[in-house]
Amino acid sequence: MTEKLALGAMLFGTVLDERRSFELLDRFVDAGGVWIDTANCYAFWADPSGFGGQSESLLGRWLARRPGVRDRIRISTKVGCEPTVSGRFPESAEGLSAEVVKKGIEASLRRLGTDHVELYWAHKPDPATPLEETVAAFGELMSAGTVGRLGCSNYPAWQVDRARQLARAHGSAGFTAVQQHHTYLRPRPGTGPTVVHRFGAVTDEVLHYLEHHPDMELWAYTPLLSGGYTRADKPLPTEYDHPGTARRLAALDEIAAETGTNRNRVVLAWLTGGNPAATPIVGVSSPRQLDEALAGVTLKLDAEQRERLDSAR
């Protein structure tokens, strides 16, 4: 069951120091955790340089000091959002040209201290580069054995499908996973997501696409709304300020009481057991938060409980 959870390493090496980051990574692996999610741009906004790479570098140091651990974990990393000019994001984002993709994986592998990653993501669409060029560049990495699978993050459904069509036409590997913001609460219609990316939030269209393409996986970032479900000091984003939120929170509270858990654990159980099932990416800063996330993905909801959660509007 722990394979259903990805540990988000976004702030490892910046907001979280090396000692605490190593502690959380060790605890995650000791509990049977497998997937660790990062990106070449993490966390440029939290580092004085204005550039990323700190998360991957920390993971590389951790792996170097843990002989044998590399065989027990799977690494998910991304390319496309690293700034090329400090302090100028998103306008200076590196994009997804063939050259950027090639150099991006080389730099990521160097920082990670490994010769491959299990999952490599296009971090966001690049309107300046033809999709054909990006797809071909990613396909070459698969052919070389440098990456195990391909995914795209923050893409609209039509572009996901177009990229997969192009890959098939060229006989190369295509995207088999999408990564977007996904959680139990639903934003107010007509509002934009608080997340940075225009197509960052899961929509019904994306979910419908995934339902009809069983070879595709869904990874969900910010599934717990940065503490918004359980912490009074972490208010929910403004797009959730509508009557439907109160009804869905009430449903969460009912199920949490029945299962002896809390909102966070129920949200994670709802995500991992849904259709399509999602792999939540959970960023944690303490052992307690990590233990709670691990407990959430092992929580079983019965069909009636899931129906109540789904039907709350």
- pLDDT digits 0-9 by tens, 64-118: 999 999 999 999 999 999 999 999 999 999 999 999 999 999 999 999 999 999 9
Number of domains in the chain: 1
DSSP for residue 4:
G
What is the per-residue pLDDT across 289-312, written as a single tens digit (0 to 9) for each?
999 999 999 999 999 999 999 999
Range of the domain at 163: 2-311
Identity at 165, one-letter amino acid code: Q
The alpha carbon torsion through 125, 131, 133, 134 (nearest 10 deg) reads 40
At 1 the pLDDT is: 59
| H or E stretch covering 182 | none
At 90 the pLDDT is: 93
Instruction: Kindly state the average pLDDT of the residues 32-45.
Output: 98
Q: Cα separation of 25 and 261, whole Å?
A: 24
At 193 the pLDDT is: 67
What is the CATH number for 278? 3.20.20.100
Residue 174 confidence (pLDDT) above 80: yes
Tokens of 164: 């997969």
At 189 the pLDDT is: 83
At 2 the pLDDT is: 72
At 297 the pLDDT is: 96
Helix (H, G, I), strand (E, B) or coil at 96: coil
pLDDT bucket at 248, cuts 50 / 70 / 90: very high
CB-CB neighbours of 260 under 10 Å: 8
Nearest Cα to Cα of residue 100 among 112, 77, 82, 117 = 82
